[in-house]
Amino acid sequence: MQYHFKTDQGIKNLTREEAERISGSDPDHATRDLYEAIERGDYPSWTLEMQILTPEKARDFPWDIFDITKVWPHGEVPPIKIGKLVLDRNPGNYFAEVEQAAFCPGNVVPGIAISPDKMLQARVFSYHDTHIHRLGPDYHLIPVNTPKCAPENSYQRDGFMRVDDNGGGGPNYWPNSFGGPAPDPTAGEPPFELSGRAGRYPFTHPNDDFLQAGNLYRKVMTDEDRGHLIGNIVDHLGGAQKRIQLRQTALFYKADADYGRRVADGLGLDIKEVERLAGMSQEEMAKATA
């Protein structure tokens, strides 16, 4: 499954010139805009959509479904609207309700499982470690982090900032014969079949790393969007070494020839050299521009 929160307010971006000016004169403009909108009852909201792939369709899907740089085309996997996220109250105390918030992708409810996405797998354990370092071992008991509809039942005891009854005189081990919390087998992930030989193998999915990027440039962006994109890239890439400029521009060229040519023109690069590099594999390109 993939989840998408889509703004109901619409999208409006700053140009790089506007962003540079506002960041110096009014760096808190976005936070204030959000706060004031909520205060006057103009509650910002996002529509939550879900895309679902069956295991059978996922097996032969043209894209690596766990590659976070790829989208699942809506024509192939239509989104399903399932609800809304609405911000209808400003925090009463910013530290208590915002700075102490500890979101963790390892906290899931029955029906949602952790996918093999490499980025997610890294975050599942590291967020928890970070929260322990930042807020202490009992960060899950801070009111902003506690579950609202189902109290936590665990044998997590003691530690800094434990301010409740700490489990009272109950046992702190399991299994026990004193009626302590027990695992709920119905909350486990459903079993799934595995086959083949386990080992470490090179990544071999026939992913095209440039088609979706090119389609975004060609089919989704407007002429104005493309102009802003080129300007932002030229502005930021302009201070890099020429060999890096050539390598990166060749990657843009692989996505779309017009894309690469416009970046090359903005950076003053030899378009013939960019085209030559774009004809190489990424490994060959890296060696040629090392």
Instruction: Pull the structure tokens for residue 10.
Output: 């619409």
Q: How far apart are CA 45 and CA 2, in angstroms?
A: 19
pLDDT of residue 204: 81
Q: Which of 202, 207, 204, 201 is nearest to 67 (CA)?
A: 207
Q: Which of 55, 148, 146 is nearest to 156 (CA)?
A: 146
pLDDT of residue 28: 95
Task: Please check whether residue 174 is in contact with residue 180, taking contact to mean a CB–CB distance below 8 angstroms.
Answer: yes
- pLDDT range class, residue 153, cuts 50, 70, 90: confident
Q: What percentage of the chain reaches a pLDDT higher than 70?
A: 100
Q: Is 196 exposed, middle or buried (0-12, 13-18, 19+ CB in 10 A)?
A: exposed
pLDDT of residue 226: 97
When pLDDT is averaged across residues 248-272 and rounded to a whole number, the result is 97
DSSP H helices, 103-222, are 118-135, 211-215
Q: Please report, as a single letter, which amino acid is at residue 221.
A: M
Instruction: Pull the structure tokens for residue 180.
Output: 């302590």
- pLDDT range class, residue 203, cuts 50, 70, 90: confident
If you ran DSSP here, which 8-state letter would residue 186 be given? G
Task: Please check whether residue 170 is in contact with residue 214, taking contact to mean a CB–CB distance below 8 angstroms.
Answer: no
When pLDDT is averaged across residues 48-63 and rounded to a whole number, the result is 90
The kind and range of the H/E element at 57 are: helix 55-59
Q: How far apart are CA 173 and CA 255, in angstroms?
A: 57
Q: Which of 15-19, 73-77, 103-107, 108-112 has the lowest mean pLDDT?
A: 108-112
Task: Please check whether residue 263 is in contact with residue 230, taking contact to mean a CB–CB distance below 8 angstroms.
Answer: yes
The kind and range of the H/E element at 7 are: strand 2-7
pTM of the model: 0.82
Largest interatomic CA distance in the chain: 78
Q: At residue 94, does pLDDT exceed 90? A: yes
